[in-house]
Amino acid sequence: MKGRRYKMDSPLCWMLGLMLPLHVCAYPNGKVQSACSSMTPEHGVTAQTSPAPFNITVNQTVYTPGDKIIVKIVSSSIPIEGFLLQARTAANGKSPLGSFEITGENMQTLNCTTANSAVSHTSDAEKPVVEVIWNAPSKSAGDIKMRATVVANKTIFWVDIEGPKLTYQLSVASGIMGPTLGTHIFCNLLAISVFKIPFLELLNV
């Protein structure tokens, strides 16, 4: 079920398609929900084990609930024909967390367990860079790592490559309520804006 379909004009694809419906061929349209868990394309060949020729970058490595973070997949030497990007707990999480927003063409969000929790390609057009926005979960999810599978072509791909760690930090709003936080000066500076929130809640607006 995983992976991309071989090109529809391939006789092999038709033959295999008759024998193993939906099982073998590749998915140039990126509808790879079947790979949500393994992140592995089923192209009939094994993934590369060499160091991945791409990097995952983020514009901040600390996050609080609800933050928006820019995530990029940057390739130095290979074309990115296909990709699957997710955020999971740094401690080897199995399920994607948070949600993604796309910022350009040739990509789409996928519902992997929860809405828009993964991003993939929409065609096998070569993409020099992938740039998306990740919305951190509204509740603490702990430390996170971005993870990506990148497909250069039908036979060459790297699976489940880890990106930088995003360290979870209490938000200022919850921190000011906590007794152990050593950020009192900072919080005092922000107190006026922070205390507006419970005030507004009292007014029910």
Ligand X SMILES: *[C@@H]1O[C@H](CO)[C@@H](O)[C@H](O)[C@H]1NC(C)=O
For ligand X, which residue of 34, 55, 108, 122 counts as binding (CB under 6 A)?
55
Contact 164, 58 (CB under 8 A): yes
When asked if residue 115 is in the footprint of ligand X (CB under 6 A), the reply is yes
Helix (H) or strand (E) holding 201: helix 184-202
User: Which tokens belong to 151?
Assistant: 């497909």
**Long-range contacts for 55-61 (Cβ within 8 Å, ≥24 apart)?**
55/163, 56/85, 56/146, 56/147, 56/148, 56/161, 56/162, 56/163, 56/164, 57/163, 57/164, 58/134, 58/146, 58/163, 58/164, 58/166, 60/166, 61/164, 61/165, 61/166, 61/167
Residue among 7 and 68 whose Cβ is closer to ligand X: 68
142-201 residues near ligand X, rule: CB under 6 A: 152-153, 156
For ligand X, which residue of 24, 36, 71, 78 counts as binding (CB under 6 A)?
78
> Which residue has tokens 């999480």?
93
What is the nearest approach in angstroms of ligand X to the Cβ of residue 58? 8
6-35 residues near ligand X, rule: CB under 6 A: none
When asked if residue 111 is in the footprint of ligand X (CB under 6 A), the reply is yes
Total residues interacting with ligand X, rule: CB under 6 A: 17
What is the nearest approach in angstroms of ligand X to the Cβ of residue 82? 12
What is the nearest approach in angstroms of ligand X to the Cβ of residue 154? 7
Nearest Cα residue to 58 out of 127, 130, 118, 106 = 130
Residue among 163 and 175 whose Cβ is closer to ligand X: 163
Residue 180's Cβ-side half-sphere holds a number of Cα atoms within 13 Å equal to 1
Instruction: Give the binding range for ligand X (CB under 6 A) out of 38-46, 52-60, 100-108, 138-146.
Output: 52-60
Residues that bind ligand X (CB under 6 A): 53-55, 59-60, 68-70, 74, 76, 78, 111, 115, 133, 152-153, 156
